[in-house]
Amino acid sequence: MTGDAESEGPLEILLKGSRDLLHPEEIVADATRDLVKEEVRRHLDQKLRENPELARALKSSVKDLLDARAREYAALLRLTAAMARLGFAAAPEAVRGELSKDLATMLSKEFGNLVDRTL
């Protein structure tokens, strides 16, 4: 066997899946963490319902954080574009044509991936 999922028989698949069940302490620990997180979430939700001003402040702060992160990404994109232009300007004439073609191909693929992820 090569170890591929396609080459494994039913018995190998069953045994592989059963190995996870042999660690009940991990299952119990994960379940306990989930229960604690759920309880903390309920407590925090209750506090936010009791204090609408605090809920508004939290919502506004999260919005500010997301806006700041978006501005950071936009700045990094502009920096990357400036670095690409600098690298292109510094390249010898003979290499610029090939660089232009490679850059156009790369950008086309990246924009295609971006559009696919956002749709």
* Predicted pLDDT of residue 52: 97
CA distance 108 to 118: 15
Q: Domain total for the chain?
A: 1
What is the model's pTM? 0.54
Report yes or no on 61 lying in a domain: yes
Domain hosting residue 30, numbered range = 23-94
Contact between residue 107 and residue 114 where contact means Cβ atoms under 8 Å apart: no
Per the listing, tokens 């009940």 go with 24
pLDDT tens digits, one per residue of 68-88 = 999 999 999 999 989 988 988
pLDDT tens digits, one per residue of 2-60 = 445 556 777 777 666 666 666 778 888 999 999 999 999 999 999 999 999 999 999 99
Report yes or no on 11 lying in a domain: no
Report yes or no on 82 lying in a domain: yes
